[in-house]
């Protein structure tokens, strides 16, 4: 079984109004303090954090990792290699915001052994970027893609759908520009407004509107059509890849592998032989985490973990591999999967494939993944 390492970088230049991720804004990142905090946490996690070679993938996310700048990111990558020698043999990904994607920063990442970046483009339309409160322009995103290509970095591009004024035509244009720019992986997210974000206040002041579900659903389908027409495989609810360019780190989550998350709000999962899982989420907020505030810990028993695993595994639209599922969750058997999935199969949302080797969401029903999940979890 593979394991993944996630490092949360909790700094952003400014807050996007829809977002409630864990970040601090408005000051120069205290890199030394942050790296000291990571070292302290890695020491405390002991055996769990030992042996870098066991971490097949590394994902540096945020926040905005690229707000550390070229020197800061180089220092972070050196810290990872020192602390976890050999980690990321299969894939190392760093999130980069387009406004930071210049030759210096991307060159530093490539020199540090990073092979893949995830660029938060969201849209190339400046009106959309203003609506979303993003700090970059469409032109910067296009240049960033080009620069990544010159540095030999593989690129995943995030797009957001459902902002006011977005049309099927503008979304098709976003998809085309991401592909022309060389993205081999595209993640498409519906604009989701978090309660704790600034967006609800802006709605009350008449400055934003809440996204419309039908508009979003229509656009999600447009994105799927455009990407699959360009040869991308829709392999996970929100993810599309060319050829074998699936996100290997994220794949660990969807195939019930273990991961270690360091940094504020970093999440970790450890499985026992019987399939039970212990999840840990670090304290939210840089100050609380740095002060050693306790993490939140949740333990799921073998059957509870299997129920959750079924839902998570069905995010893979190519299908959940039944044999792998049963190897991870030995407390259940094929009959249990049959019974648990019966009502969704009867409704035409799930189906067996390849003589029962796979259980998967029926083509075209992926928009209902959440409600299918609610039924499976219930
Ligand atoms: S969307 Fe990204 S850049 Fe914007 S506030 Fe959230 S974490 Fe920061």
Q: Is the CB of 17 under 6 A from ligand 1?
A: no
Q: Is the CB of 9 under 6 A from ligand 1?
A: no
Q: Whose CA is nearest to atom 4 of ligand 1?
A: 16
Q: Which of 90, 84, 131, 92 is nearest to 113 (CA)?
A: 92
Distance 21 CA to ligand 1 centre (A): 7
Distance 54 CA to ligand 1 centre (A): 30
Distance 69 CA to ligand 1 centre (A): 16
| C-alpha pair distances (Å), 64 with each of 57, 67, 181 | 19, 5, 22
Q: Is the CB of 64 under 6 A from ligand 1?
A: yes
Residue 53: what pLDDT?
Answer: 64
Where is 11: in which H helix or E strand? strand 11-12
| CA–CA dist 244, 366 (Å, integer) | 21
Residue 274: DSSP 8-state = T
Distance 333 CA to ligand 1 centre (A): 42
Q: From 14, 17, 23, 130, give the residue whose CB has the most ligand 1 atoms within 8 Å, as the site to mutate.
A: 23
Q: Is the CB of 121 under 6 A from ligand 1?
A: no
Q: Which atom of ligand 1 is nearest to the CA of 97?
A: 3
pTM, 2 dp: 0.96
Residue 25: what pLDDT?
Answer: 87
Helix, coil or strand: residue 186 = strand
| CA–CA dist 212, 27 (Å, integer) | 35
| C-alpha pair distances (Å), 62 with each of 11, 23, 53, 112, 286 | 7, 7, 23, 19, 12
Q: How many CA atoms lie within 13 A of 70 on its CB side?
A: 10
Q: Is the CB of 63 under 6 A from ligand 1?
A: yes
Describe the crossing of helices 138-150 and 168-180 by its angle, rounded to 10 degrees.
20
Residue 194: what pLDDT?
Answer: 85
Q: Is the CB of 199 under 6 A from ligand 1?
A: no
Distance 16 CA to ligand 1 centre (A): 5
Q: Is the CB of 23 under 6 A from ligand 1?
A: yes
Residue 23: what pLDDT?
Answer: 83
Distance 346 CA to ligand 1 centre (A): 41
Residue 51: what pLDDT?
Answer: 66
Could you state, in chain order, the average pLDDT of each consecutive group of 10 residues for the chain (378 residues)? 92 91 83 96 86 86 96 97 94 97 98 98 97 96 97 98 96 98 97 90 94 95 98 97 96 96 96 96 94 96 97 95 98 97 96 97 93 87
Q: From 8, 11, 12, 159, give the residue whose CB has the most ligand 1 atoms within 8 Å, as the site to mutate.
A: 12
Does the 3-251 domain belong in CATH 3.40.10.10? no
Distance 362 CA to ligand 1 centre (A): 33
Q: From 8, 9, 16, 194, give the residue whose CB has the most ligand 1 atoms within 8 Å, as the site to mutate.
A: 16
Distance 269 CA to ligand 1 centre (A): 24
Residue 130: what pLDDT?
Answer: 96
Q: Is the CB of 12 under 6 A from ligand 1?
A: yes
DSSP string, 91-140: EEEEEE-GGG-SHHHHHHHHHTT--EEEEEEE-S-HHHHHHTT-SS-HHH
User: Where are the chain's structural domains?
Assistant: 3-251, 302-378
Q: Is the CB of 189 under 6 A from ligand 1?
A: no
Residue 52: what pLDDT?
Answer: 63
């Amino acid at each position: 079984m593979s394991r993944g390492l996630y490092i949360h970088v909790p700094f952003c230049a400014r807050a996007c109004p829809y977002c409630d991720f864990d970040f601090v804004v408005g000051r120069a990142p205290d890199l030394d303090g942050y790296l000291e905090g990571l070292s302290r946490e890695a020491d405390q996690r002991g055996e769990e954090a030992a042996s870098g070679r066991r971490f097949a993938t590394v994902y540096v996310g945020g926040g905005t990792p690229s707000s550390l700048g070229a020197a800061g990111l180089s220092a972070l990558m050196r810290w990872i290699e020192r602390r976890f020698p050999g980690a990321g043999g299969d894939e190392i990904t760093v999130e980069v915001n387009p406004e930071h994607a210049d030759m210096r920063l991307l060159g530093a990442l490539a020199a540090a052994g990073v092979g893949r970046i995830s660029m938060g483009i969201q849209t190339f339309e400046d009106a959309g970027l203003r609506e979303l409160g993003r700090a970059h322009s469409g032109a910067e995103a296009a240049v960033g893609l080009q620069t990544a290509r010159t540095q030999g970095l593989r690129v995943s591009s995030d797009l957001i759908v459902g902002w006011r004024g977005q049309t099927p035509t503008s979304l098709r244009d976003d998809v085309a520009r991401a592909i022309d720019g060389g993205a081999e992986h595209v993640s498409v997210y519906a604009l989701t407004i978090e309660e704790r974000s600034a967006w609800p206040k802006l709605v009350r002041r008449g400055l934003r509107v809440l996204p419309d579900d039908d508009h979003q659903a229509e656009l999600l389908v447009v994105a799927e059509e455009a990407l699959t027409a360009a040869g991308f495989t829709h392999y996970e609810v929100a993810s599309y890849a060319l050829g074998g360019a699936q996100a290997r780190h994220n794949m660990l989550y969807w195939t019930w592998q273990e991961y270690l998350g360091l940094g504020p709000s970093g999440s970790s999962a450890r499985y026992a032989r019987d399939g039970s899982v212990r999840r840990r989420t670090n304290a939210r907020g840089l100050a609380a985490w740095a002060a050693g505030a306790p993490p939140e810990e949740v333990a799921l028993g073998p059957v509870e973990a299997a129920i959750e695993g079924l839902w998570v595994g069905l995010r893979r639209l190519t299908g959940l591999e039944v044999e792998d599922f049963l190897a991870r969750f030995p407390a259940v058997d094929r009959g249990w999967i049959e019974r648990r999935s019966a009502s969704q199969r009867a409704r035409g949302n799930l189906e067996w494939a390849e003589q029962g080797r796979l259980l998967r969401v029926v083509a075209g029903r992926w928009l209902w993944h959440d409600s299918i999940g609610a039924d499976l979890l219930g």
